[in-house]
C-alpha cells in the first residue's frame, strides 16, 4: 500500500515533521533516510574513548521564550556543560607567540561589543520599515558605525563575535536577519555544551521512538535509502532511490540540507520552478569545522574556569582562531578543539589529516613553545565534502530578502520542504530544525484536511 506521505531524511526536522503528522492522525508515513542512522547533522563520534560531537554541540537556555530543546533535554536527562567564555582578554595569543596585554584586547572587545549594539539597533530600524525590504551586510553596518576591524587582533575578536556563530564573515552575512541574534534574544545565552555519551542525537532518537514502532499502524523508517529523484504532479509523487526502488505517495516532505538541494544528488521531475531554484541557489550553506586533537598530556593553562577558550591571531583571518580545551567537560582527557569556518574550512577539508595536524601544531608551538608533544589522535569532520550534507548549516546572506526566503521553504504542488534553513529566526540551529519540522507538517495537515494547500499556487512560480 502506498503511504500518504514520504519524508526524505531522518534528521531533527524530518523526524519532528513525521511526529507532528502522526499525532494529527496521519499514520501512513514512510521515512527514507540516506545514511545508516537517524540524527543527520547531530552526529557523535567516539574519539579516544570520549564521545565528541562532530556536528551540533550547543543548545541555549535562559531566554524569555522557552527553547523546546530544553524540555527534550530534560526528558532524556541529556548531559551538558555550561561553557565559560569569559576572560578572552587574558587568553589571546599573538601570531608570533606570546599573549596580548589584557587591556589591549579589552579595548578591542569593547569596540566590538559597542559595534554589535549599533548593528542591533540599526537592524531594528531597518526592520521597522515594513514597506521597504532593505538590508546590508554586517560589515556595512560596522562601517556605518565607523569602526570596522582591520588589524589581526581586531579581526580575531570580530571572528569571535560573528564568524564563530554564523560560520561566515560579516562581509557576506545579512545584518537585518542576524542582528540581534534571535537564538540568544529569545532562547537565551546559557550555552549548554552537550557531553552525553549517547550524543546530542539521542534527542532525535527519543522523538523517533514515539512514532517508529513495530506494527502496521506506526511510521515506517527505511535506512540506506538515498533518494535521487522526486517526480511530482498535482495528483502525487513518485520517489526513486539509488538502489532502484520506487515509492509512490500523495505528498513528500524533503528535509535534506540546503547544501544537498544545491547539489545534484536530488533531481526533481519536472525541475522546480525557476524562482524556487533561484531561492535555493542564492541562500548560503556554510562550513563550520571542529577539529579535535588528543594529547598525551596537557600543556595549556587550564587551572580554573577562566581559561576554557583562547584565541590565536593571524594575518590570515580565521586561521585556526578559536581554541577550546575540554578539560572541564572531560577531565583528564587532554583534548583540544579548534574551530575554523567558511573558506578556511573549505581549504582544510581538501588537506590530509597529517597536513592539518602539521598546520595546527605549528600554531600551538607559537602559543606554547616547541617542546609540546604531537597529538596521539586527530579527528577532522568534513561536512562540506559529504554528499548527504554539503556543508554544516545555513547562513542568511546580505541582500537576500524575506520574499525569497519564503519561497525557499514554500511547497511546490505536493512537494513540501523543511529543514533548519527554512527557519526565519533559528536558521542554522537544531531548535530551528525542530520547529520547522512542526511548521511544515502543520501546513501539510491543513492541506490534507482540505483547508487549503499552499503548494497549489506554486506549481509555476
Ligand X SMILES: Cc1cc2nc3c(=O)[nH]c(=O)nc-3n(C[C@H](O)[C@H](O)[C@H](O)COP(=O)(O)OP(=O)(O)OC[C@H]3O[C@@H](n4cnc5c(N)ncnc54)[C@H](O)[C@@H]3O)c2cc1C
Residue positions forming the annotated binding site for FAD: 13, 33-34, 227
Considering only 9, 169, 188, 414, the residue that binds ligand X (CB under 6 A) is 9
Considering only 3, 11, 384, 409, the residue that binds ligand X (CB under 6 A) is 11
Site for ligand X in 258-287 (CB under 6 A): 260, 265-266
Q: What is the 3-state secondary structure (H, E, C) of the chain?
A: CCCCEEEECCCHHHHHHHHHHHHCCCCCEEEECCCCCCCCCCCEEEECCEEEECCCCEEEECCCCCCHHHHHHHHHCCCEEECCCCCHHHCEECCCCCECCHHHHHHHHHHHHHHHHHHHHHHHHHHHCCCCCCCCEHHHHHHHHCCCCCCHHHHHHHHHHCHHHHCCCCCCEECCCCCCCHHHHHHCCEEEEECCCCCCCHHHHHHHHCCCCCCCCCCEEECCCCEEEEEEECCEEEEEECCCCEEEECEEEECCCHHHHHCCCCEEECCCCHHHHHHHHHCEEECEEEEEEECCCCCCCCCCHHHCEEEECCCCCCCCCEEEECCCCCCCCCEEEEEEEHHHHHHHHCCCHHHHHHHHHHHHHHHHCCCCCCCCEEECCCCCCCCCCCCCEEECECCCCHHHHHHHHCCECCEEECCHHHCCCCCCCHHHHHHHHHHHHHHHHHHHCCCCCCCHHHCCC
In the complex, what is the shortest distance from the CB of residue 100 to ligand X, in angstroms, rounded to a whole number? Answer: 27
In the complex, what is the shortest distance from the CB of residue 252 to ligand X, in angstroms, rounded to a whole number? Answer: 11
Stretch of 11-19, 117-125, 129-137, 300-308 lying at the interface with ligand X (CB under 6 A): 11-19
Considering only 3, 6, 7, 14, the residue that binds ligand X (CB under 6 A) is 14
Q: Taking a C-beta distance cutoff of 8 angstroms, is the pair 260, 385 a contact?
A: no
Residue 313 vs 392, nearer CB to ligand X: 392
Considering only 13, 80, 284, 286, the residue that binds ligand X (CB under 6 A) is 13
| DSSP bridge partners of 92 | 311
In the complex, what is the shortest distance from the CB of residue 125 to ligand X, in angstroms, rounded to a whole number? Answer: 28
Q: Is 395 in the site for ligand X (CB under 6 A)?
A: no
Residue 141 vs 259, nearer CB to ligand X: 259
Q: Is 8 in the site for ligand X (CB under 6 A)?
A: yes
Q: Is 309 in the site for ligand X (CB under 6 A)?
A: no
Residue 225 vs 317, nearer CB to ligand X: 225
Considering only 21, 26, 30, 34, the residue that binds ligand X (CB under 6 A) is 34
Residue 35 vs 334, nearer CB to ligand X: 35
In the complex, what is the shortest distance from the CB of residue 376 to ligand X, in angstroms, rounded to a whole number? Answer: 23
Q: Taking a C-beta distance cutoff of 8 angstroms, is the pair 182, 190 a contact?
A: no
Considering only 20, 137, 162, 255, the residue that binds ligand X (CB under 6 A) is 255
In the block, which residue shows the cell 542564492?
Answer: 282
Site for ligand X in 143-162 (CB under 6 A): none
Considering only 78, 105, 219, 227, the residue that binds ligand X (CB under 6 A) is 227
Considering only 388, 396, 416, 417, the residue that binds ligand X (CB under 6 A) is 388
Considering only 33, 158, 168, 329, the residue that binds ligand X (CB under 6 A) is 33
Q: Is 89 in the site for ligand X (CB under 6 A)?
A: no
Site for ligand X in 39-78 (CB under 6 A): 40-42, 55-59
In the block, which residue shows the cell 617542546?
Answer: 371
Q: Is 226 in the site for ligand X (CB under 6 A)?
A: yes
Residue 330 vs 393, nearer CB to ligand X: 393
Question: What is the per-residue burial (b if ≥16 Cβ within 10 Å, else e) of 418-429?
Answer: bbbbbbbbbbbb
Residue 367 vs 435, nearer CB to ligand X: 435
| DSSP bridge partners of 416 | 253
In the complex, what is the shortest distance from the CB of residue 79 to ligand X, in angstroms, rounded to a whole number? Answer: 15
User: What residue numbers does the annotated binding site for substrate cover?
Assistant: 181
Per-residue contact track with ligand X, 342 to 381, x per CB under 6 A?
----------------------------------------
The residues of the shown chain that bind ligand X, judged by CB under 6 A, are 8-14, 32-35, 40-42, 55-59, 226-227, 255-257, 260, 265-266, 288, 290, 383, 388-389, 392-393, 419-420, 428-430, 433
Amino acid at each position: 500500500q502506498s503511504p500518504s506521505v514520504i519524508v526524505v531524511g531522518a534528521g531533527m526536522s524530518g523526524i519532528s515533521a513525521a511526529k507532528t503528522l502522526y499525532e494529527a492522525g496521519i499514520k501512513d508515513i514512510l521515512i527514507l533516510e540516506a545514511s545508516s542512522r537517524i540524527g543527520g547533522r547531530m552526529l557523535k563520534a567516539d574519539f579516544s574513548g570520549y564521545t565528541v560531537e562532530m556536528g551540533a554541540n550547543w543548545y541555549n537556555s535562559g531566554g524569555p521564550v522557552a527553547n523546546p530543546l530544553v524540555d527534550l533535554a530534560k526528558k532524556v536527562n541529556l548531559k551538558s556543560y555550561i561553557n565559560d567564555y569569559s576572560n578572552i582578554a587574558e587568553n589571546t595569543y599573538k601570531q608570533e607567540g606570546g599573549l596580548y596585554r589584557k587591556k589591549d584586547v579589552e579595548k578591542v572587545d569593547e569596540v566590538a561589543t559597542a559595534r554589535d549594539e549599533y548593528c542591533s539597533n540599526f537592524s531594528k530600524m531597518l526592520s521597522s520599515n515594513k514597506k521597504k525590504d532593505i538590508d546590508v551586510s554586517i560589515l556595512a553596518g560596522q562601517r556605518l558605525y565607523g569602526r570596522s576591524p582591520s588589524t589581526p587582533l581586531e579581526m580575531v575578536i570580530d571572528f569571535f563575535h560573528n564568524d564563530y556563530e554564523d560560520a561566515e564573515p560579516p562581509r557576506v552575512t545579512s545584518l537585518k536577519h542576524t542582528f540581534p541574534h534571535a537564538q540568544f534574544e529569545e532562547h537565551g545565552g546559557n550555552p549548554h555544551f552537550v557531553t552525553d555519551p549517547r550524543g546530542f542525537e539521542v534527542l532525535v532518537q527519543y522523538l523517533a521512538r514515539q512514532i517508529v514502532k513495530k506494527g502496521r499502524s506506526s511510521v515506517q523508517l527505511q535506512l540506506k535509502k538515498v533518494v535521487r529523484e522526486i517526480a511530482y504532479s498535482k495528483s502525487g509523487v513518485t520517489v526513486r532511490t539509488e538502489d532502484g526502488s520506487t515509492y509512490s505517495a500523495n505528498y513528500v516532505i524533503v528535509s535534506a540540507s540546503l547544501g544537498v538541494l544545491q547539489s545534484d544528488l536530488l533531481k526533481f521531475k519536472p525541475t522546480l520552478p525557476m524562482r524556487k531554484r533561484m531561492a535555493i541557489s542564492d541562500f548560503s550553506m556554510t562550513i563550520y569545522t571542529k577539529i579535535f586533537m588528543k594529547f598525551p598530556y596537557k600543556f595549556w593553562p587550564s587551572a580554573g574556569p577562566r581559561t576554557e577558550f583562547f584565541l590565536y591571531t593571524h594575518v590570515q583571518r580565521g586561521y585556526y582562531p578559536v581554541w577550546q580545551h575540554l578539560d572541564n567537560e572531560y577531565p583528564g582527557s587532554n583534548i583540544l578543539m579548534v574551530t575554523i569556518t567558511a573558506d578556511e574550512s573549505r581549504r582544510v577539508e581538501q588537506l590530509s589529516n597529517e597536513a592539518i595536524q602539521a598546520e595546527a601544531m605549528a600554531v600551538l608551538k607559537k602559543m606554547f613553545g616547541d617542546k609540546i608533544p604531537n597529538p596521539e589522535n586527530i579527528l577532522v569532520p568534513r561536512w562540506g565534502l559529504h554528499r548527504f550534507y554539503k556543508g554544516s548549516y545555513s547562513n542568511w546572506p546580505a541582500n537576500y530578502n524575506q520574499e525569497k526566503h519564503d519561497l525557499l521553504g514554500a511547497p511546490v504542488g505536493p512537494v513540501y520542504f523543511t529543514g533548519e534553513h527554512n527557519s526565519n529566526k533559528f536558521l542554522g540551529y537544531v531548535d530551528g530544525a525542530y520547529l520547522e519540522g512542526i511548521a511544515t507538517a502543520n501546513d501539510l495537515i491543513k492541506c490534507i484536511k482540505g483547508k487549503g494547500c499552499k503548494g497549489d499556487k506554486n506549481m509555476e512560480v
